[in-house]
Structure formats: structure tokens, C-alpha cells
Structure 1
Amino acid sequence: MITARVRSGVGEMAGQYIEVKTQTGTSFVAYLAVAEGGRGPGIVLCQEIFGVNAAMRAKADFLAEEGYTVIVPDLFWRTAPRIELGYTEQDFQKAFELYQNFDENLGVEDIRETLNYLKTLASCDADAGLGVVGYCLGGKLAYLAGCRIPEVACAVGYYGVGIEKALDELANVKGRMVLHIAELDKFTPPEARQQILDAAAQYNNVNAYVYEGVDHAFARPNSEHYHKPSARFAHERSVTALHQTIGPVYDLVALWEEHIRHEFDTRDVPATMATMVAEPYVNHIPTLTGGVGYSQLARFYQYHFVHQNPQDMKITSISRTVGSTQVVDEFIMSFTHDSEIDWLLPGVTPTGKYVEIPMLGVIQFRGPKLCHEHIYWDQASVLVQIGLLNPQGLPVAGIETAQKLLDEEMPSNTLMPSWSSSEGKSI
């Protein structure tokens, strides 16, 4: 095993290079990222046409944080072993040359060999099967691996090139397959895209998604076509499919409640941060408060949040929706404004007013750790309740917004001057 720590343009990588020995006696190098916690379901990650470069290693490390043990095999080992290309014009030319001379069938066999090797690792839990994820060239190879290798329980292909030429193989898929397609991808023109969608629609275990207004490589950070909303949406769909087929399964509710227990009950900042990924972020939408990254968020929690909240602050749960990667919490937060609250009312001196506000939290997880929080509330309602905003003549309300959430029988449309004009009219 080769155990060199890797550095690249995106920083130090968490994994290491290893050597995969094939049944025919040959071998090739691969990048290994071990699952958070030391053991998890196995994934073979298939490279773009640029080799096992910094971008692919970063993808492997990211999936390792999700709880997977990931191997990225060097699929160009026969013609250009250990090549790493960037994204300059010269790099693109070299990458396309490698792509044109690449044998896809041999590539699938390399994936098979890597899967066999992956199963032997103590850090891999293969009980529920294995996954294959790929991008660009790797997206096509992930597709072919899902069609040809029975032990692939889940195959995920991002903007795979040429899938429409192998749609007859879809009937052989034993596990789950997810395909992500960019609407503007010139390598998958509209006619080819429609052929893929039509074929996928014939199978319950195959899902194909089109991302509007984005181009090839929309999920590669720092690329010309990177589109963060689409990339995040695709990632959530990918991880959900992987969770449902090969695991792992996490109790997100327990993880979330442990986090808020340290925020509001024990008021323990180190314990709060320990529930989160290495570089988390929190965004309180109305006031733009929170932090991005460990140091900024820990500072925010220590000096502007955890120890600043009023002693009588209380959370009343209204509803909770739990997905595969996130929790959406609806709740009412109540407190007496008897101390300055930087995150909620920055710069406002205590008024002594009692406040109740409806809130919504979208809590994203990466593996067993909280990744980010998006917290929403109606700031106008808060300002009305503490006396800083006169609601007269404005379409805003005070404590009624929380009260109506608890009692839906309260009158609706009281802020609409025209509401009475429709009384008695036919519908």
C-alpha cells in the first residue's frame, strides 16, 4: 500500500494513494478516502477525463465525510499512469486525446477489479452491496458498471457522455441507478437527452434528472459551469439513493436534538461544535448572522449566541420533516428581551418585552455531523413585538403570527382591507 499524504490546489487531502492488484497480476494506483468514523459502505468513484486530480480527490473526501469508504481508480493507467490534469486549454486537449484512446470496456473491468479490492478492506462495509459514482467519462462508466456488474447496488452518473448509445443495457440493471443530466450539455444534445429520459422512464429502479439552464460539469466546484444550487440538489438525490440502497442510516433527529441541547440547555460551545462537520456554517437569514467555517462559527457561538440567549428562551415544536440528508423543523421561539441578543436583534438594547416568533430551520447533515443551518423567521413581527416598528397601516403583525400557528381558528386575512368586499360573492 502506498501511504503518501496528498497535497493539491484545494489543500491537503484526507486520503492516501494505494495500489490495486488485479486478478490478472497487473496493478494500478488509486486514491482511497476512508469513511468518517473509520468504516462505511464502499463506493468506487470514477474520474473525469482529467485523471485522478485534485477535484476528484476532493469529491472522494467529501463522500468520505458522508460516511463512505471511497476508492478512485486511475483509469488511465494503461496509457498515462497517474496523470493529473487541470482545466487549461492545453489540459483539455490532452484530456480529450486520452478520452479518444480510452477503452470503455477495459474501464468497466477496472471498476470491477476495484470493487473486488474494496470489499477486502476492513474500512468497507459491503453487506448491502457497493456503489459506483462517476462524472463525465466516469458518469458513463458508472452507468455501464450499474448495467454490467451485479454487485453494484447503486450507480450514480453525472453528465455521462454517450449513455444514449448503450440504452439497451438498462434492462440488466439489478440495483438502483440515478442519472444527472445538464440541460445545456453539448455532449448530450436534446435528442440524446430525450432518448435517455424515455428509456429511464421504463424502469422503476432508474431515475434520470435534468437540471435546467446548466451545462456540463455543473457539479464541479470552481469550474466555469459550476452551479451550486443544482450541484447541491443533485448531491442530495445521489446520497439519498445511496442511503436507501447501501446505507449508512443515521438518526438525524437524535443528532439534531443533541446539537440544540448543547446550544440552549448545557450552553457548551465545544460540545455544540463537536456535533458539526469540520467546516460548518450557520445562516440566520433575516439578520445575516452566523458564521462560515469552524473558527468563525465557534467565535459566533461563544461570544454572540450560546451565552447571550435569555434565560427563559423556549422552543415549542410545531412540526418536523425528516429526509435522508436533512431535517426541516418548524417551531415557535419565545423569550423575554431582557438582554442584548446579537444574532436576533443586533445592536438593539433590551426592551423587557416578551416575544413569540414562528421559526423554520433547514438543517443539512453530512454523514453523522451537522453541515449547515438555514434559520428563517419574520423579523417584522419581532420588531413589532419589541416596539421598534409601528404596524399601523403596514401589512405586518406581532405576536399574532405565533398565536395563529398554534390556533388555526384565529381569523385569517385581518391585514387585507379588501377582505370584506368578497363576502357573500359566488365562488
Structure 2
Amino acid sequence: MCFPFDAIVPDLPPGFQVIAGGAAGERLELRSADGTAFSAYLARAEGSTGVVILPDVRGLFRFYEELAERFAAAGHPALAFDYFGRTAGLGPRDEDFDYMPHVRQTTTETVAQDVAAALAALREHTGVERAITVGFCFGGAQSFVQATEGHEGLAGVVGFYGILSSGGLLDRGAIEAAPDAKVPVLGLFGGADDHIPPDQIAAFEAALPVEKEIKVYDGAPHSFFDRRAEQYAAESQDAWERILGFVAKVETA
């Protein structure tokens, strides 16, 4: 898995601090193109560029709801969604959720359908003009693949330590998909991540035909983006700054 259940989203960089009381969100039930009902969490803001959040293998739990609130506090409406409506019903998921049987039943096609529905819901509820996806681990891989899908209004994709090779949990790997990317890509990786070797990161970067930024944090492990990991606070702050900078770029593209 990626984050432990009690992980905490790192604070935003100076100048983007959460307002008093936070940016509370609301739980929604969305429907995919195949008729599947699935759960989502929406945090509203006034900005014109939104964020769709793709969780790790645990699906929608509090870390990703909090992350949506952080993006909203920085001025970007955000929606985090759950992958497992087809096989586990509606979420959100708790610490005891047995996620792996459901992860194994996801496909690139069904994730893309859910992302399309999430993007449409974000436009409907907040009026955003464009959006990016941001994913973690399993969700980072799926976020990278969304760059190939031609989604309406998708302006870029971000992946934190997204698994890059196919096989195992992925029926289409990010390296395999990379040549078909249509929008800019930001990839954030830990240099001490045993799950993602440097040669795969290099192959992924080389295969992308679009504007790209790949950052490897020397010595950082998988799942370093956690406020409790105080030794990686600088890396987390830098990651936030790169994501917010990425949003600024797609807004003016």
C-alpha cells in the first residue's frame, strides 16, 4: 500500500496556508458511463482550475479528503474519488477495508470512466474551466495514464511515486502508455523507493512526447508525502510548490 491510514497531508507552502476552520468538503455519489455508482469527496473553491485526486490502493479515505481540502484552500476546487464502486459498493473506506481483491478487479478502462465522471462533476459543481489529475502510487500510475485518454478539460497530470511498469495490479503501465500522452506531465519520485527503479523513471521520461517535469528526491522513500515524516518536510514542501507551479503553467498555456 501507499500511505498508512493515519497519514496526514503536509501543510501548504507559505502564502497558501489553510484558512481558519479549513475548507470543509462534501461527500457525493457519482455515476460512471457504465452506470456504476461510486463515492467522491468535493472541496469547493473559486478558482478556474480544478484537481481530480486518484488515491492509492486503499481508495477514498480521510487523507485524500484532507488533500482535496488543501487544494481548495489554495484556490483550486478538488474532488477525490473511490475506485471500488463496481465491486465494493459506496465508500469511503475505513482502516479495515480489504482493498486488494478490489484493486485487482480495476482496469484502465474503468478507472478512465470514473475519472471522466469526476471531471464532469467538478465542472458541474464548481464551474472550473480545466483540471489536472493528481495520483499516488497505484493512483499515480493511473494519473499518468489519464494523459493518454483525451478527457474533456484535462490540462495536465501529476503522479506521486506512480508505479511505472505493467503487470501485477496494472493492465497498462505508465511506460507503455507514455508515447500516447497528450497533456503535460509532472512526476514526483523518491530516490530510495524500492518499488520504482531509476531505469524505469528514465524510460518513462524519455518516452513522453509532451512537456514534462520529472523530479526524483534523493534519499526519499515511497510515500514520503506525509506530515508525520518530518525528515522529509523539505521534500514535501518542494512537491507542493511544484504542483502549484504546474497548475499555474496549465492555466496560462
Partner of 1:423: none
Partner of 1:318: none
Larger fraction in strand:
1
In structure 2, the residue corresponding to 1:19 is in which secondary structure? strand
In structure 2, the residue corresponding to 1:186 is in which secondary structure? coil
Partner of 2:113: 109
2:241 aligns with one of 214, 236, 243: 236
Partner of 2:216: 210
Q: Per the alignment, do residues 98 and 28 of structure 1 end up closer, same or farther by CA in structure 2, a change over 3 Å counting?
A: closer
Whose Rg is larger? 1
What is the deviation of 1:213?
A: 0.1
Give the alignment's TM-score, normalised by structure 1: 0.49
In the alignment, structure 1 residue 181 sits paired with structure 2 residue 184: no
> One-letter code of the match for 2:157?
A
What is the deviation of 1:162?
A: 2.8
Show the 5 A alignment for 1:14-413. Answer: 14-35=24-45, 38-80=46-88, 81-86=90-95, 94-121=98-125, 123-126=126-129, 129-150=130-151, 151-163=153-165, 165-200=173-208, 203=209, 205-222=211-228, 227-246=232-251
What is the deviation of 1:226?
A: 6.9
In structure 2, the residue corresponding to 1:62 is in which secondary structure? helix
Q: Per the alignment, do residues 85 and 196 of structure 1 end up closer, same or farther by CA in structure 2, a change over 3 Å counting?
A: farther
> One-letter code of the match for 1:82?
G
> One-letter code of the match for 1:101?
Q
Structure number with higher relative contact order (C-alpha < 8 Å, ≥ 6 residues apart)? 2
Unaligned stretches of 5+ residues in structure 2: 1-5, 9-20, 167-172
- 1:171-223 Cα shifts (integer Å, max 9, x gaps): 332221101111111211233233224334xx450111111001111113336
Q: Per the alignment, do residues 193 and 74 of structure 1 end up closer, same or farther by CA in structure 2, a change over 3 Å counting?
A: same
Partner Cα separation in structure 1 for residue 232 and residue 103 of structure 2:
25
In structure 2, the residue corresponding to 1:56 is in which secondary structure? helix
Q: Per the alignment, do residues 41 and 47 of structure 1 end up closer, same or farther by CA in structure 2, a change over 3 Å counting?
A: same
Contact 2:32 2:113 in 1 (8 A): no
> One-letter code of the match for 2:91?
R
Contact 1:21 1:28 in 2 (8 A): yes
What is the deviation of 1:239?
A: 0.9
Contact 1:131 1:155 in 2 (8 A): yes
In structure 2, the residue corresponding to 1:44 is in which secondary structure? strand
What is the deviation of 1:9?
A: 9.2
Partner of 1:261: none
- 1:299-356 Cα shifts (integer Å, max 9, x gaps): xxxxxxxxxxxxxxxxxxxxxxxxxxxxxxxxxxxxxxxxxxxxxxxxxxxxxxxxxx
> One-letter code of the match for 1:246?
E
- 1:31-70 Cα shifts (integer Å, max 9, x gaps): 00001xx453221111111221111111111011111111
Contact 2:53 2:134 in 1 (8 A): yes
Partner of 1:269: none
Q: Per the alignment, do residues 218 and 146 of structure 1 end up closer, same or farther by CA in structure 2, a change over 3 Å counting?
A: same
Unaligned stretches of 5+ residues in structure 1: 1-7, 248-427
* Structure 1 stretches of at least 4 aligned residues deviating more than 4 Å after TM superposition: 8-13
In structure 1, the residue corresponding to 2:133 is in which secondary structure? strand
Contact 1:47 1:135 in 2 (8 A): yes
What is the deviation of 1:136?
A: 1.2
Partner of 1:294: none
Contact 2:181 2:210 in 1 (8 A): no
In structure 2, the residue corresponding to 1:108 is in which secondary structure? helix
> One-letter code of the match for 1:40?
S
Number of residue equivalences: 227
In structure 2, the residue corresponding to 1:28 is in which secondary structure? strand
Give the alignment's TM-score, normalised by structure 2: 0.79
Q: Per the alignment, do residues 99 and 226 of structure 1 end up closer, same or farther by CA in structure 2, a change over 3 Å counting?
A: farther
In structure 2, the residue corresponding to 1:208 is in which secondary structure? strand
